[in-house]
Homo-oligomer: A and B are copies of this chain.
Amino acid sequence: MKRSDIPLLGYALLGLIDLKPSSGYDLRKVFAETAMGNYSSSPGAIYPALERLESQRLIRGVVEDAAGLRRRRVYHATAIGATELRKWLSKTVKADDVMRGAPELMLRFSFMDHALGADAAISFLQEFRSSLKSYLSGLEAYARANGKKMPLSGRLALESGIRSYRGMYDWTGYAIRAYRQSLTSQRIRPAKTERGGPK
């Protein structure tokens, strides 16, 4: 069934609402003003998307009637919605998820520690990292094999792809260290990095 097929925007909304109950307007502002700017922000996208989520019982909107304020429909995640979100967040990262869907992985990461905790975030990053590694080595092999016979612009475009994935790969390492550090400094003291050995 395609019923359970929620577009990325839907997950973005669900994740934000799970973080904190919000109105459509609040959510639009998040997309418009923060670094999450890759998502919609137009009312013609947000409001219908919220209606869809509500009709799927993943969120529920209640009209706030605090004195003097204009009607604001504030959505909160239902139990079903919270479960669905966590199910989506818990999916393992497959090798080709990286290729067609890096933005989705980043979106999942951004909700990860609130919804599932730091340990889950770390293991997600580790899976992400190893998928990136295998995808990267594929790209590099392709570049080695075909680079010579490609026109300069093509080779450079490919190089740009490789660099961007390599950058993401490096970032996963940085992020894992940052998480580990936050866990140890929280438990012991704000000491300098004690890099955990291999898992």
Residues of A within 8 A of B (CB): 35, 37-38, 99-100, 106, 109-114, 118, 121, 139, 142, 151-164, 166-168, 170-171, 174-175, 178-179, 182, 188, 191, 193, 195, 198
Whether A156 touches B168, Cβ cut-off 8 Å, given contacts A37-B100, A151-B113, is no
Give the complex CA separation of A114 and B154 in angstroms: 10
Residue among A139, A151, A153 having the largest count of chain B Cβ atoms under 10 Å: A153
Q: Which 6 A-B pairs have the closest CB atoms?
A: A167-B167, A110-B157, A113-B153, A156-B175, A160-B171, A163-B167
Q: How many angstroms between the C-alpha atoms of A89 and B91 in the bound complex?
A: 40
Partner of A174, one of B113, B118, B179, B198: B198
Q: How many copies does the complex hold?
A: 2
8 contacts between A and B (CB under 8 A): A35-B139, A35-B157, A35-B158, A109-B157, A118-B152, A121-B153, A156-B178, A164-B167
* Distance to closest chain B CB from A139 (angstroms): 7
CA distance A142 to B156 in the complex (A): 30
Distance between A170 CB and nearest chain B CB, rounded to angstroms: 6
Collect the chain B residues with CB atoms within 8 Å of residue A168's CB.
Answer: 160, 163-164
Q: Which of B152, B158, B163 contacts A113 (CB 8 A)?
A: B152
Query: For A155, what are the chain B residues with a Cβ–Cβ distance below 8 Å?
Result: 188
Shortest distance between the CB of A107 and any CB in chain B (Å): 9
Which of B106, B153, B167 is in CB contact (< 8 Å) with A109?
B153
Tell me whether A99 and B161 are in contact (CB under 8 A): no
